[in-house]
Structure 1
Amino acid sequence: MEQFTQLVDQVSGIVWNSILLYLLVGTGILFTVRTRFVQVRKFGEGFKRMFGSFKLNGENAGKDGMSSFQALTTAIAAQVGTGNIAGCATALYSGGPGAIFWMWLSAFFGMATNYGEAVLAQKYKTVNSHGEVTGGPIYYIRARFKGTAGKIMAVFFSLAIIFALGFTGNMVQANSIGLAFHTAFGLDPLIVGIVIAAVAAFTFMGGVKRIASLTEKLVPAMAAFYIIGCLIVLVINRSELLPALESILIGAFRPQALLGGAAGIGVQKAMRYGVARGLFSNEAGMGSTPHAHAMAKVEKPQDQGVMAIMGVFIDTFVVLNLTALVILTSGKLAPGVEGAPQGTALAQAAFSQAFGSFGNAFVAICLLFFAFSTIIGWYFFGEVNVKALFGPKATKVYALIVVLFLVLGSFLKVQLVWNLSDLFNALMVFPNLIALLASSGIVARAARGEDIMK
């Protein structure tokens, strides 16, 4: 079993670091060029739409979909997760401060990719046999590739996302919460897991109406809480803010000048960890967030496309960026040094430097918000595909399995499950990217303001 675990880890590493890295960034560059930098041209419109439709108690979601803002918050709920804290800290430890610059770059191009995903999700959304509006990659893959090939690609994508996000992915999120609360408060991870699973089950049973209602309240609240906490730390560490920004730029192009040779971190390593963790965090091109954007009730696909741009911006340029600056200004980062804190431990050390003993508790609370919101988002994305493949009745079995995985994940860290989650996360990207590349002309027309529904 140990050999199989190592094999899965090696295959996952090759797929993520040697193939997907270039495909995801390449797709983002292509969409940026073909849409004439839509993420720049339409950023103001996206900003206005986001705040113009901001409501903590919006209209009830139902069979006909949800509001544009609810769709955005459901997408952000999945995007803003443990990767924004633990993933960012891991990238800094493994790739040095320069990794953050490459995160910025990958997110910039990822905004165009996410625009394309949302546009296609809107164009090819459909109404199922129960009168429910639904959409996502399984539908635009089928539409773009007729016949057996399209069916195989669509089914492969759906099975991969159900397993990667709904099952093993949510197991990872529950483990992050359990570990953080055990470290901060000494609580039994199993008890934490049972509570999380119970609240999640209550949310799942309420369907899309309850999920949309929860995310439109939870996402703004958790973002505000974390942003305020980070800003307080940065005010305390304000004298280190400019050196931190300088270290990001120097580390991106001349890491040896910053870190010396001991850490063994070069430009390629900074780039690899920055791009990989950035894409894994904002999920641009992975095919997850289109499930939420397909549900938005908008006049034309482009309207939700510009909202999708804001999801990547908030995830990377706001939340993840603040985590990076808190860590860099704390003086707790020791890139590549064996035994130095990394991951969640590094984030907790950074916040504790400013907040004292409250630092561990702050990170634990934020991880609870981030990971739980991701659990809700990922469950919903998996549910869409369960319905598409097996029908609405299968969702009860799916929900039960997810709840069981949440309990198990809170106290069991089975490395094989974690490695399989990474691998299936990677595998589900391929059919989605193929469909995106085949549809780049449609997205380009949408970015020019043309009617793509004809």
Structure 2
Amino acid sequence: MDGFTKFIAEASDFIWGIPIIAILIGGGVFLTIRLSFFQFRYFPHILKQTFGKIFSKTEGDGTLTPFQATTSALASTMGAANIVGVPVAIALGGPGAIFWMWLVALIGIGTKYSEVVLGIHYREKNHQGEYVGGPMYYIKKGLGWKKVAVFLSFALMVEVAASMMVQSNSIAMTMKGSFGLPPVVTGLIVALLVILITYGGIKSIGKVSERLIPFMVVIYIVAALIVVTVNFKEVPNAFMLIFEHAFRPISAAGGFAGAGVAAAIRWGLARGLYSNEAGMGTAPIAHSAAITNHPAKQGFWGVFEVIVDTLVVCTITALVVLTSGVWKTISPDNASMMVTEAFVPIFGSTIAGMIVSATLFLFVITTIVVIVFYGEKQAEFLFGTAVCKVVRFIYIAAIIVGAIGGLQFIWQFLDLLLAAVVIPNVIAVLFLSGKVKEITNDYFTNLYPVERKK
């Protein structure tokens, strides 16, 4: 069994190295070029259509408001990756990793936009009158690849269960370390909250995420900006380190072991790719429920996701780590504690721990709620709406089992299952890029002149 586990781990490491990075970055570059660099050419317009219309009513068909759909999608990307993943990238790749994180985010915008546009274009109504969509629908309807759609959908349905266990275990360990709460108690609390929130379906999830996500982001950003403000004299130096060591190795200093350019690129690209989930096929499942009168308009909210998740929250985390100097004093093995340690001099150890633990707890709750919805939609696609409740029960059980560290063997398959989703999804989006270009051109030809005057 140890040999098999080692094989799975090595296979996962290989696939999530150069192959996945090449597919995601190559796909993002291709889509950016094919869409004529729209994210740069129309950046002010995209901001106006998203940040400028968060509280505006939208015309069109759908189940959720565009903002609710977006916060639901953000719920699965905002989390430990933003608070823990960025320090890990700096610890292993140096400050220069942040530059490459920014670069891949700008490239990933093309992929995220295309996924959301296709999700809206190929969505359909289910028996309950709700709009459903995602990679399984645009692969089946747009390309006629029914077997590929079924394979992707099944892989994602199983992947959700494994992901649920990992998420539940991470928050259980955090709560045990911060408050001494037994893992089984944390598991039961999380399971109960998930049951209560998901009971009302996507509308309930949308309402909760619409309130919780902005609240969590604001709390974390305010606390982080206080730290950066206190250390404001180090901000220019932080940016200098980011740009300088994106192209030049950095030597060891204190607990920091040093890093070459290759390490900066590898960890920066990985953090950028994983933090906003561009190309992973999950975001269009949530966005497909949005009320909109044109697919491109909801696609702009996909751009909004990348901006908030990677360019704003991850960047602020990086500044907290770099301006406070904790990246030099804490070893890579304890990189996950960097943000908490950076908060300690300003807020004290107790409050610092509470801020980070509470934020992570809320992030994990919303993440689990949304990925339960994603898993249910796969069951609905494969077996019909009647099976959704059965799958939800299995996922709830997985939360409790994961919290106490059970069935860890299944966790080993998490990355492989996710790769089984990412690879066919990106390939399908590339094959359907002509349709994305057609829809985008239609928007900028017919609606853009009207929207500019509003």
Fold-level similarity (TM above 0.5): yes
Contact 2:178 2:354 in 1 (8 A): yes
The aligned counterpart of 1:151 is 146
Write out aligned runs for 1:17-416 (5 A): 17-55=17-55, 64-146=62-144, 150-164=145-159, 166-256=160-250, 263=257, 265-334=259-328, 337=331, 340-343=333-336, 345-357=337-349, 358-412=351-405, 415-416=408-409
Per-residue CA distance 1:325-365 (angstroms, 9 max, x = gap): 11112212149956x5222x233222224322121111101
User: What letter corresponds to residue 7 of structure 2 in structure 1?
Assistant: L
TM-superposed CA distance for 1:55, in Å, is 4.3
Contact 1:38 1:447 in 2 (8 A): no
Q: How many residues align?
A: 444
Contact 1:97 1:328 in 2 (8 A): yes
Instruction: Tell me how far apart the structure 1 counterparts of residues 444 and 245 of structure 2 sit (CA, whole Å).
Output: 44
Contact 1:141 1:153 in 2 (8 A): yes
Instruction: Tell me how far apart the structure 1 counterparts of residues 240 and 345 of structure 2 sit (CA, whole Å).
Output: 21
**CA pair 13-193 structure 1, distance change in 2 beyond 3 A:** same
Per-residue CA distance 1:117-163 (angstroms, 9 max, x = gap): 011011101123443321100010012332xxx12211111112112
Displaced runs of 4 or more, over 6 A: none
Per-residue CA distance 1:267-314 (angstroms, 9 max, x = gap): 111111111122111000110000011111111111101111000110
User: What letter corresponds to residue 140 of structure 1 in structure 2?
Assistant: Y
**CA pair 281-335 structure 1, distance change in 2 beyond 3 A:** farther
Contact 1:173 1:371 in 2 (8 A): yes
Instruction: Tell me how far apart the structure 1 counterparts of residues 258 and 429 of structure 2 sit (CA, whole Å).
Output: 37
Per-residue CA distance 1:195-216 (angstroms, 9 max, x = gap): 1110001111111121111111
TM-superposed CA distance for 1:36, in Å, is 1.5
Instruction: Tell me how far apart the structure 2 counterparts of residues 376 and 442 of structure 1 sit (CA, whole Å).
Output: 32
The aligned counterpart of 1:2 is 2
Contact 1:121 1:293 in 2 (8 A): yes
Contact 2:252 2:259 in 1 (8 A): no
Instruction: Tell me how far apart the structure 1 counterparts of residues 410 and 319 of structure 2 sit (CA, whole Å).
Output: 31
TM-superposed CA distance for 1:49, in Å, is 2.7
Q: Mind listing any 5+ residue stretches in structure 1 that lack a counterpart?
A: none
**CA pair 394-451 structure 1, distance change in 2 beyond 3 A:** farther
Contact 1:5 1:415 in 2 (8 A): no
TM-superposed CA distance for 1:413, in Å, is 6.8
Per-residue CA distance 1:229-266 (angstroms, 9 max, x = gap): 11111111212222211111122111235769x93621
TM-superposed CA distance for 1:417, in Å, is 3.4
User: What letter corresponds to residue 318 of structure 1 in structure 2?
Assistant: V
Instruction: Tell me how far apart the structure 1 counterparts of residues 266 and 412 of structure 2 sit (CA, whole Å).
Output: 18
User: What letter corresponds to residue 312 of structure 1 in structure 2?
Assistant: V
Per-residue CA distance 1:4-54 (angstroms, 9 max, x = gap): 222211111111112010110111111111112222233323322333443
**CA pair 51-436 structure 1, distance change in 2 beyond 3 A:** same
Tell me the SS of whatever aligns to 1:341: helix
Instruction: Tell me how far apart the structure 2 counterparts of residues 34 and 258 of structure 1 sit (CA, whole Å).
Output: 42
Contact 1:176 1:367 in 2 (8 A): no
Contact 2:73 2:283 in 1 (8 A): yes
Instruction: Tell me how far apart the structure 2 counterparts of residues 415 and 276 of structure 1 sit (CA, whole Å).
Output: 24
Contact 2:62 2:292 in 1 (8 A): no
Tell me the SS of whatever aligns to 1:428: helix
Tell me the SS of whatever aligns to 1:97: coil
Instruction: Tell me how far apart the structure 1 counterparts of residues 154 and 433 of structure 2 sit (CA, whole Å).
Output: 25
Contact 1:184 1:361 in 2 (8 A): yes
User: What letter corresponds to residue 179 of structure 1 in structure 2?
Assistant: M
Contact 1:383 1:398 in 2 (8 A): yes
Contact 2:76 2:368 in 1 (8 A): yes
**CA pair 451-158 structure 1, distance change in 2 beyond 3 A:** farther
Q: Mind listing any 5+ residue stretches in structure 2 that lack a counterpart?
A: 446-454
Per-residue CA distance 1:154-190 (angstroms, 9 max, x = gap): 11111121122x2111222212211222222222222
User: What letter corresponds to residue 360 of structure 1 in structure 2?
Assistant: G
TM-superposed CA distance for 1:414, in Å, is 5.8
User: What letter corresponds to residue 434 of structure 2 in structure 1?
Assistant: G
**Percent identity over the alignment?**
38
Per-residue CA distance 1:380-432 (angstroms, 9 max, x = gap): 12211110101111111111111111112223176533331122112210110
User: What letter corresponds to residue 216 of structure 1 in structure 2?
Assistant: E
**CA pair 120-232 structure 1, distance change in 2 beyond 3 A:** same
**CA pair 295-425 structure 1, distance change in 2 beyond 3 A:** same
Contact 2:69 2:287 in 1 (8 A): yes
The aligned counterpart of 1:12 is 12
User: What letter corresponds to residue 268 of structure 2 in structure 1?
Assistant: G
**CA pair 104-414 structure 1, distance change in 2 beyond 3 A:** farther
